[in-house]
Amino acid sequence: MLALMGSLVSLSVGTSFAKRLFPALGAEGTTAYRLVFAMLMLMAVFRPWRRQWVWADALPLGLYGVTLGVMNLLFYSAIKTIPFGVAIAIEFTGPLAVAVWTSKKASDWLWVALAILGLGLLLPLPGADAALDPLGMALALAAGICWALYIVFGQRVAMRYGGMATPLGMLAAALVVAPIGVFHAGSALLDPQWLLAGLAVALLSSAIPYALEMFALNHLPKNTFSILLSLEPAVGALAGWLVLSERLTLFQGLAIAMVMAASMGAAWSAGRSASNPN
C-alpha cells in the first residue's frame, strides 16, 4: 500500500514539476523529455535486444506505444490551461469506461452516471465559481480515450511479451512525440539546465512510479490496487496546490470527489464479480 501511495505521490509531484517547464519547452518539449529519458532508462533495465524479434511484433507494440505517446502529449497539453487534479479526474473516465464496458452487471452503470454528474459540475453552469478552458477539458477527455485504448492494447502485449512490452512501447511513444517536441521547443531541449530538469521529470513521473507500481501489483489484490489508484485525482490536486499554487473551486473539488467515487465503485464492483462469478 505504501509503495502504491509513493507511486502516486511521485507521479503527481513529477507532473506538477513538469508543468513548470512549459514556459521554456512547451507541453510538447516536456513530453518529449519525459518519454525519451524514460525509454532510455527502461531500455537499460530490460535490455530488450536480448530477445528475438520479428516484424509481426511491430504492429501490436506500435499500437501500444503510439497510444501511450499520444496520451501523454494530450494530457500535458491539457494541464497547460486547466488544473492538474481536474485534468486527472477527466482523464479517469477512460479506465472507468473500460471497467464498466467489460462488466456484466447493469448496476455498474450507476458509476457511469456518478462520473457524468461529476463532470457536469465542471461545465460553465449558472452559479459555477469559474469556467474551465473548453480546449483543455477536451484534451483531457481525449487523453482519457487514449488511456482506455492503452489499457486494451497494454493487456494484449503484456500477455504476449510480458515486461519486455514496456521498453518497446516507450520506444514507439518516444519516436512519435520526440519530433513534435523538437519542432516546438527547438534548441532549448539542448540547454543543460532543461536536460537535467527533463531527467528529473522522467524519474519522478515514469521510472519511480513504474517500479513502485510493479512492486504494489505483486503484493496487493487487483481490486485493492485499483481502488487505491482511484486516489490519484486527489493526490494530483494536492500536488497542484502545493507545487503550482493551483486552487480548486467548490464545484471542481466536488467533481473530482465524484469521479473518484465512481472509479472506486467500479473497482469494488469488479472485485466482487471476480470473487463471486455466480
- pLDDT tens for residues 36-47? 999 999 899 889
Answer whether residue 211 shows pLDDT above 80.
Answer: no
> Residue type at 116?
I
Alpha helices in the chain (DSSP H): 2-19, 22-46, 58-78, 84-91, 93-101, 109-120, 134-161, 165-185, 192-202, 208-217, 222-229, 232-244, 250-275
pLDDT band at 145; cut points 50, 70, 90: very high
Domain limits for position 24: 2-275
Q: Nearest-CA neighbor of 266 among 147, 49, 95?
A: 95
Question: Phi and psi dihedrals of 22, rounded to 5?
Answer: -60, -40
pLDDT digits (tens, 9 = 90+) for 178-191: 999 999 999 999 99
Look up residue 149 and give its three cell numbers.
485504448
**Burial class of 271 by CB neighbour count within 10 A (0 to 12, 13 to 18, 19+):** middle
> Residue type at 254?
L
Cβ-based neighbour number of residue 259 at 10 Å:
29
Looking at residues 8-34, what average pLDDT do you find? Answer: 92
The pLDDT assigned to 124 comes to 59
How many Å apart are CA 157 and CA 149, to the nearest integer? 12
- Choice between 55 and 215, residue whose per-residue pLDDT is larger: 55
Q: Are 166 and 207 spatial neighbours (Cβ–Cβ below 8 Å)?
A: no
> Residue type at 245?
S
pLDDT band at 50; cut points 50, 70, 90: confident
Give, to the nearest 10 degrees, the angle between helix 84-91 and helix 134-161: 50
pLDDT band at 72; cut points 50, 70, 90: very high
Q: Nearest-CA neighbor of 20 among 268, 177, 204, 244?
A: 244
Alpha helices in 186-221 (DSSP H): 192-202, 208-217
How many Å apart are CA 223 and CA 18, to the nearest integer? 30
pTM of the full structure = 0.86
- Choice between 237 and 26, residue whose per-residue pLDDT is larger: 26
Alpha helices in 121-221 (DSSP H): 134-161, 165-185, 192-202, 208-217
Looking at residues 46-71, what average pLDDT do you find? Answer: 91
pLDDT digits (tens, 9 = 90+) for 99-110: 777 666 766 678
Number of structural domains (the chain) is 1
What single DSSP character describes residue 51?
S
Q: Is the dihedral of CA 197, 91, 252, 263 positive or negative?
A: negative
The pLDDT assigned to 221 comes to 66
Per the listing, cell 486552487 goes with 247
Max CA pair span of the chain: 60
Q: Nearest-CA neighbor of 45 among 196, 195, 207?
A: 207
How many Å apart are CA 93 and CA 142, to the nearest integer? 10
Answer whether residue 126 shows pLDDT above 50.
Answer: no
